[in-house]
Amino acid sequence: MADRTIKVETLTRVEGEGGLYVRLSGDAVDEVRLEIYEPPRLFEALLRGRPLEDTPDITARICGICPVAYQMSSVHALESALDVTASAEIRRLRRLLYCGEWIESHGLHMHLLHAPDFLGFDSGLDMAKQFPDEVNRGLRLKKHGNQLVDMLGGRAIHPVNVCVGGFYRMPRRDEFQKLIPDFEWGLNAAVETTRWVAGFEFPDFETECEYISLSHPDEYPMNEGFIKTSSGDSIEVSHYEDEFQERHVPHSTALQAIRKSTGRPYLLGPLARVNLNREQLSPTARQLADEVGLEPLCKNPHRAIIARGLEIVHAYEEALMIMRGDHPTGKPRESYSYQAGEGMAATEAPRGTLFHRYVIDEAGKIVKAVIIPPTSQNQAQIEADLKQWVTQVISDDEQQTARQCENLVRAYDPCISCSTHFLNVKIERT
């Protein structure tokens, strides 16, 4: 057979812009490139010289899908530079805010972006004609996530209430209480949703990769912890840049990360988190993981949709626990005074571990910012997995092959706008 390429010019149902290029000689795969052509927005450069207080508002604008993650990593890293420790109350509210973002982002991805692949639709909207109940349920879950971020953060996209040290204002008791009945309904609905997606037909496909996520002895990882790897390492967040490295490849405006010690890519995100922290899932989510038969170490990236469902269940259960608990009191934020220094932090964005490092000066200005978003870390692993997947799905029907490639990429929910520093499939046979 002649050499050929398969190209997807614009990868759809992903956040941001990118394409995919596959070159084959005969049926052998020569090259797979995830091409991120999202124009770079150069955030790390434009933060320099600005007051550190501007950081959570500006970094939120890296991504409209997970602004909370950027805000959380920013404030934690800056607090570490300022030697500020947030109170237990603020910590609890930050987790609550993160629950909202997970419910919103996973809800969106599962129902509007990913499920249509399993059921053969172009979009969630088309799917809604045949599966109105499921899509409406999904939209309601997504809406709850938005309502929670809205309640605590002021608005669902680019919340205004987050600041270094805590929040501008504490939520009121009635704002909490108002959400509880909806969240009780949502917990059950999330369980139903997870059972539904776990019943999809999944392709037989396994990849070998290193899974990486934050981990914490007492809780499912969100804001804090150490970095756990499926190869058995535990890494302090302060050693992040010693262990992981971003490389710049010509075909992408997103940097690609590798593990320094092995020179190999790795995978972050919901599947990695569940694989590494299953024991810390909330009781309902843990039980559900067993019930739907998610393997203890699931190596099939298509099944990440189940991990997302479990994380929604977890987020609802934890959010309910926080909202039913004692209403947070005390001051909304810790005060601080400026000092020159450096601070790092990693938190769990919906798509995986998000690392920030800042150097600040004695006047509280940003001197240097380093932001390592999840998509740029996952990118090299996605390329590696695609290379393997192409050999399994290759056929003479180019459109079909391209579509299968897109399906796999969507399983990772890559957020291309966040790879500040994106998809479209092209298969070439030479």
3-state DSSP of 192-243: HHHHHHHCCCCCCCCCCCEEEEEECCCCCCCCCCEEEECCCCEECHHHHHHH
Which residue do the tokens 């070439």 mark?
428
> Looking at beta carbons only, is 55 or 213 nearer to another protein?
55
Contacts of residue 100, defined as CB under 8 A and 6 or more positions apart, other chains included, come to 68, 144, 145, 146, 147, 148, 149, 151, 152, 153, 315, 319
Give the CB-nearest residue to ligand SF4.
61
341: three-class secondary structure by DSSP: strand
Does residue 255 belong to the site contacting another protein (CB under 8 A)?
yes
CB of 14 within 8 A of CB of 415? yes
Contact criterion met (CB below 8 Å) for 8 and 405: yes
Q: Give the number of residues in contact with another protein, rule: CB under 8 A.
A: 66
The smaller minimum CB distance to another protein, of residues 148 and 214, is found at 148
Q: How many residues bind ligand SF4 (CB under 6 A)?
A: 4
| Residue 63 interacting partner from another protein, ligand SF4, none (CB closer than 5 to 8 Å by kind) | another protein
Would the annotation count 58 as a binding residue?
no
Q: Is 160 in the site for ligand SF4 (CB under 6 A)?
A: yes
Residue closest to 403 by CA, chosen among 375, 423, 385, 378: 423
The annotation status of 418 as a binding-site residue, yes or no, is yes
Is 209 part of any known ligand binding site?
no
Q: Closest CB to another protein among 62 and 267? A: 62
Compose the 27-46 pattern: x for residues touching another protein by CB under 8 A, - for all others. -----------xxxxxxxxx
Closest CB to another protein among residues 246, 398: 246
Tell the smallest beta-carbon distance from residue 100 to ligand SF4 (Å).
18
Q: In this structure, are strands 28-36 and 18-25 parallel, antiparallel, or unpaired? A: antiparallel
Q: Does 1 bind ligand SF4 (CB under 6 A)?
A: no
Identify which of 303, 244, 323, 314 has the alpha carbon closest to the alpha carbon of residue 277: 314
Contact of residue 339 among ligand SF4, another protein, none (CB under 5-8 Å per partner type): none
Closest distance to ligand SF4 from the beta carbon of 399 (Å): 31
Report strand pairing: 162-163 vs 28-36.
unpaired
By DSSP bridging, strand 266-267 and strand 226-229 are unpaired
- Partner from ligand SF4, another protein, none contacting 324, C-beta within 5 to 8 A by type: none
* 327 forms part of the interface with ligand SF4 (CB under 6 A): no
**Residue 61 interacts with ligand SF4 (CB under 6 A): yes or no:** yes
Q: Is 263 in the site for another protein (CB under 8 A)?
A: no
Report CA torsion sign: 222, 190, 142, 297. positive
Q: Taking CB within 5 to 8 Å according to partner kind, which of ligand SF4, another protein, none is near residue 325?
A: none
Query: Of the ranges 27-35, 122-130, 213-221, 309-317, which one interacts with another protein (CB under 8 A)?
Result: 122-130
Is 66 labeled as ligand-binding?
Answer: yes
Q: Nearest to residue 55, comparing CAs of 426, 356, 389?
A: 356
What's the one-letter identity of residue 259? Answer: R
User: Rg of the chain over CA atoms, in angstroms?
Assistant: 21
Q: What are phi and psi of 316, to 5 degrees?
A: -60, -45
- The binding site for ligand SF4 (CB under 6 A) comprises 61, 64, 158, 160
Residues in the annotated binding site for Fe cation: 66, 418
- The binding site for another protein (CB under 8 A) comprises 10-17, 38-46, 48, 50-51, 54, 57-58, 61-65, 67, 108, 112-113, 116, 122-126, 128, 136, 139-140, 142-143, 146, 154-158, 160-161, 163, 168-169, 246-250, 253, 255, 406, 417, 420-421
